[in-house]
Amino acid sequence: MHLRTARRRDWAGRPHRDQRGITGIETAIILIAMVIVGTVFSVTLLNTGLLSAKKSEETVIEGLKEISSTLFLRGSVFAQANPGKTAIDTITFYLIVEAQSVESVDLSSTGTVVTYQDSDNALNCTA
């Protein structure tokens, strides 16, 4: 055996007494590997969080659109009869949007059905 070998071993192949277990470069490699794994894990968590936040934002926006298209009666309903008082010519009422949104509800593009119901009668008016 030569005494000038880089790693001295005894006759059974085990490291010699003065040889250290882990060198500085090996520790640095392990540290870099742990940092890379941690970075990949954190990026995955951030992407999942951002995707979840985007989905919840879309859900809130859709909910607001649905609420903003709901109309409620505000105040009284006025009916004006014809001169012979045999039929109603005009019904006047005011509607409000439940949510205070920037967009108004367009009633001209879709059909509108107004339903009147009391204990004796039920009436559907379409426009």
Instruction: Single out the residue of 66, 63, 70 nearest to residue 107, CA to CA.
Output: 70
Q: Hey, which residues does 78 pair with through a beta bridge? A: 92
Single pTM value for the model: 0.39
Residue-wise pLDDT tens digits, 12-42: 566 566 655 667 788 889 999 999 999 999 9
Pairwise CA distance, residues 73 & 83, whole Å: 27
In terms of average pLDDT, the best of 1-5, 54-58, 61-65, 87-91 is: 54-58
The answer on pLDDT for 81 being more than 60 is: yes
Pairwise CA distance, residues 8 & 25, whole Å: 19
Pairwise CA distance, residues 99 & 63, whole Å: 11
